[in-house]
């Protein structure tokens, strides 16, 4: 056995294949991590800028409220009054940013982060004002995807494994060295097993080394639970491809045929099956057109405007204290905001079922896509890497829901003060509702995804073992 391992190392070094694979693997890992880190740095810079702008504005208004409370500054117009709850709650400058910060290992996979927003400015006016105004993604990048670590592991790592393993047995048979090996007290299974284990260990070792070094240089925390999960996923995914190579090698075909079969398998598992899963998902649960959604929301808005007079009449009949005493009474800002809030609530009430239908259909599509990941180890790995990076679709949908919840909390707080005609003080500014942000949860589906990847590997290893037991004599010729 030791002789086989020594011969393996000499052969790999002699044709420089090991050096080529090592350089390519380390290079693509490093480049992928670098790209991911650049995107994460841009997000963190944007988040810091947003929070700095928000904090500066509110500190300025809080200082003015303190001066007004001490009698050092006149109240002034209503739109400049820092004690008026409308200003910090509804003014154009007002609002708090709800932010989804990058996860500890966000640089591993871009995932859906270039599609879904990671921040939204929440005020009584809107829950997405200012969203995506600080950065715009190149549409070419969106169409072609990002070169990140996930791309290297899902797409390129199998090709490097194929380059190392397509001729494990056929090269020895074609070169006439297989008979020489088997003249020793060795069995065919030991020969191919030693070759597989040796090359598997080299690939995984190089991959682990490259990932660890690249993440350490990028400053990513390696002490989190996500890091060993990442390494284990790489090992399992590599094991699947070596198991597939084992099965192809024991079919007894020539080296070119083995290469063709393995590249065909790569196309199937990495490109064709994911594409078909996407097509089937969109066919079974097509998401309603965004144009139709916007049109429906605009129709709801127009309907409210048509019924506005009747709506306001009913309101003032039930709340006569807010009605103007006569037509000659001046129409002030309070009147405007009362009617604005009433109209806004009516629009949101009509828009709720429209949005709910859209979100429900989207949820059904995502649930189906989530189940289809079990069709391919590439889908399983990509899904797991997105979860580790906090860039999976479910994480962003959860963030959107948290923005909705915070929007409701912000509205209830400031509208309550407006309707009660309460003044706010400098101390009140510190008690405004605060969005509780948190990093994405680590790999909620890690266990099932890892087990499914193992199942794929065991399947092809078992098929290879069965084929080897049937054809051991024919393979040795």
For 25-48, what is the mean pLDDT? 94
For 206-213, what is the mean pLDDT? 96
pLDDT tier for residue 133 given thresholds of 50, 70 and 90: very low
Q: Is the pLDDT of residue 143 over 60?
A: no
pLDDT tier for residue 155 given thresholds of 50, 70 and 90: very high
Residue 315 lies in a domain: no
| Predicted local confidence at residue 186, as pLDDT | 56
CB 287 within 8 A of CB 361: yes
Higher pLDDT: 171 or 142? It is: 171
pLDDT tier for residue 470 given thresholds of 50, 70 and 90: confident
Least confident of 26-35, 238-247, 327-336, 369-378: 327-336
Residue 424 lies in a domain: yes
Which two tokens mark 405? 């919840």
Q: Is the pLDDT of residue 138 over 70?
A: no
pLDDT tens for each residue of 384-420 = 999 999 999 888 888 988 998 999 999 999 999 999 9
Mean pLDDT value across the chain: 84
Q: Is the pLDDT of residue 321 over 50?
A: yes
What is the domain range of residue 126? 1-289+347-477
Residue 415 lies in a domain: yes
| Predicted local confidence at residue 333, as pLDDT | 86
Residue 370 lies in a domain: yes
pLDDT tens for each residue of 213-267 = 999 999 999 999 899 999 999 999 999 999 999 999 888 888 899 999 999 999 9
Residue 335 lies in a domain: no
3-state secondary structure the chain: CHHHHHHHHHHHHHCCHHHHHHHHHHHHHHHHHHHHHHHHHHHHHHHHHHHHHHHHHHHHHHHHHHHHHCCCCCCCCHHHCCCCCHHHHHCCCCCEEEECCCCCCHHHCCCCCCCCCCEEEECCCCCCECCCCCCCCCHHHHHHCCCCHHHHHHHHHHHHHHHHHCCCCHHHHHHCHHHHHHCCCCCHHHHHHHHHHHHHHHHHHHHHHHHHHHHHHHCCCCCCCHHHHHHHHHHHHHHHHHHHHHHHHCCCCCHHHHHHHHHHHHHHHHHHHHHHHHHHHHHHCCCCCHHHHHHHHHHHHHHHHHCHHHHHHHHHHHCHHHCCCCCCCCCCHHHHHHHHHHHHHHHHHHHHHHHHHHHHHHHHHHHHHHHHHHHCHHHHHHHHHHHHHCCCHHHHHHHHHHHHHHHHHHHHHHHHHHHCCCCCCCCHHHHCCCCCCCCCCCCCCHHHHHHHHHHHHHHHHHHHHHHHHHHHHHHHC
Residue 332 lies in a domain: no
pLDDT tens for each residue of 75-87 = 888 888 999 999 9
Which two tokens mark 301? 């808005």
Number of domains in the chain: 1
pLDDT tier for residue 441 given thresholds of 50, 70 and 90: very low
| Predicted local confidence at residue 268, as pLDDT | 96
Residue 41 lies in a domain: yes
Q: How far apart are CA 364 and CA 370, in angstroms?
A: 10
Which two tokens mark 223? 């002490």
Closest residue by Cα to residue 293 from 219, 358, 243:
358
For 155-174, what is the mean pLDDT? 85
Highest averaged pLDDT of the listed ranges 78-82, 162-166, 228-232, 342-346: 228-232
For 168-188, what is the mean pLDDT? 62
| Predicted local confidence at residue 456, as pLDDT | 96
For 435-457, what is the mean pLDDT? 79
Closest residue by Cα to residue 419 from 94, 85, 124:
85
Higher pLDDT: 99 or 179? It is: 99
In the chain, the percentage of residues whose pLDDT exceeds 70 is: 84
| Predicted local confidence at residue 401, as pLDDT | 87
In the chain, the percentage of residues whose pLDDT exceeds 90 is: 47
């Amino acid at each position: 056995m030791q002789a086989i391992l020594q011969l393996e190392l000499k052969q790999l070094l002699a044709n420089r294949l090991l050096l080529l694979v090592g350089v390519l693997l380390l290079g693509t890992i490093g480049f992928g991590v670098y790209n991911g880190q650049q995107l994460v740095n841009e997000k963190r810079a944007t988040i810091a800028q947003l929070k700095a702008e928000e904090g500066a504005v509110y500190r300025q208004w809080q200082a003015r409220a303190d001066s007004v409370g001490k009698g050092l500054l006149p109240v002034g117009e209503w739109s400049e009054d820092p004690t008026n709850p409308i200003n910090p709650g509804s003014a154009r400058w007002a609002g708090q940013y709800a932010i989804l910060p990058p996860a500890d290992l966000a640089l591993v996979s871009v995932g859906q982060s270039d599609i879904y927003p990671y921040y939204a400015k929440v005020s009584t006016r809107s829950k997405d004002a200012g969203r995506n105004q600080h950065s715009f993604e190149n549409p070419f990048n969106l169409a072609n995807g990002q070169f990140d670590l996930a791309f290297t592991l899902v797409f390129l790592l199998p090709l490097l494994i194929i380059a190392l393993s397509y001729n494990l047995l056929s090269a020895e048979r074609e070169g006439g060295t297989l008979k020489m090996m088997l003249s020793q007290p060795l069995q065919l299974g030991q020969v191919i097993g030693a070759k597989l284990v040796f090359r598997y260990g080299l690939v995984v070792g190089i991959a682990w080394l490259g990932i660890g070094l690249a993440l350490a240089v990028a400053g990513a925390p390696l002490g989190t639970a996500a890091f060993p999960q990442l390494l284990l996923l790489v090992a399992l995914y590599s094991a699947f491809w070596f198991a597939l190579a084992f099965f192809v090698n024991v079919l007894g075909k020539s080296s070119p045929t083995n290469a063709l079969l393995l590249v065909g398998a790569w196309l199937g598992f990495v490109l064709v099956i994911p594409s078909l899963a996407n097509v089937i998902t969109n066919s079974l649960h097509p998401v309603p057109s965004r144009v139709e959604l916007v049109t429906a929301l605009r129709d709801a808005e127009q309907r409210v405007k048509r019924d506005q007079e009747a709506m306001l009449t009913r309101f003032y009949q039930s709340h006569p204290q807010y009605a103007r005493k006569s037509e000659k009474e001046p129409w002030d800002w309070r009147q405007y905001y009362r009617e604005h809030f009433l109209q806004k609530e009516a629009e949101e009430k009509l828009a709720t079922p429209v949005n709910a239908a859209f979100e429900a259909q989207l949820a059904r599509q995502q649930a189906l896509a989530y189940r289809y990941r079990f069709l391919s180890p590439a889908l399983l790995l990509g899904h797991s890497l997105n979860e580790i990076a906090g860039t999976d679709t479910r994480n962003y949908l959860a963030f959107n829901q948290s923005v909705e919840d915070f929007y409701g909390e912000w509205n209830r707080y400031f509208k309550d003060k407006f309707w009660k005609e309460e003044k706010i003080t400098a101390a009140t500014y510190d008690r405004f509702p605060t969005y509780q942000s948190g990093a994405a949860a680590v790999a909620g589906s890690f266990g099932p995804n890892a087990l499914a990847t193992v199942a794929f590997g065991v399947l092809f290893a078992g098929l290879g073992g069965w084929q080897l037991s049937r054809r051991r004599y024919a393979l040795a010729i």
